[in-house]
Structure 1
Amino acid sequence: MSCLVKTTTPFISQEILLEALEKCGYNYEIKNDKIYIPSLHKYRNTYFKFVNGKYILNYDSYNTEISYFLTKLEKSYNNVYEIKLKEEAERLERERLAYIESQKKAIMEKAKAKGYRVMETKKDNKIQLTLVREVR
């Protein structure tokens, strides 16, 4: 008998899906393009397969264990996804600050080589560099 189950979370990232499975305490095996979950093989093979840009759970015989598994996995997947988003935002902010610092340093070196003095002021979370040259 077949059963169609839709999840509210699309499992689009293999990395996040595997980490979520680990956090839930499920072992997995990757064979070809499928992620098998051996602990759910009570009836037949249970696996995720990548179809149309997302991982879809393929299993036979719906039972409460599958429902519990999917609920638990969705929560874990969302938690891991949020952590990854925060890490990515932090990485981008570090890169942005490093870029600003390198640009500022390059401008200061170039200005100094041409005989300018650099004055730095901060306005509304922005840095303004003013080049000053004294003519005698």
Structure 2
Amino acid sequence: MNVVSYKSKTLATWIAFLAGSLGLHRFYLHGWKDRFGWFYWVPTFLGLHGLQRVQDHGLDDQVSWLLIPLLGLMVAQAMLAAILYGLTPDERWDARHNPGQPVHPTRWAPVLGVIAALLVGAGVLMATIAFSGQRYFEYQVEEAKKISQ
């Protein structure tokens, strides 16, 4: 007999917001055997390693230029997942994650999670794009200076 436990839209939204870059929302929804959930750890920890490299080697470390945007993109995708979960209609959510169970209406908690995810996700995505663009153009200027000398 296959017993399916109830999957809360509110809880999934907040797990994606708080720990989505580690894939914990996927483990909540799909179980520990979810391959995509395990994949989230690699770029997240590489991005954290990039932050550690900046602290150890300074902002001129080119490896950190490649690694830090991975963390930003993982956080941004987690915020997108939180937004998608929170905005999914209750009927569709329960049909997909709670088949055969009555619809459980949600109130404001997922909406508050969506608002928080929009704020954090937009900020992180803009910061990631700005950091990557700045480092790219600084590298281009340094290379042009080397060539002209």
TM-score (norm 1): 0.39
Higher relative contact order (CA 8 A, sep 6+): 2
State TM-score, norm by structure 2. 0.36
More helix by share: 2
Counting strand residues as a fraction of each chain, which structure ranks higher? 1
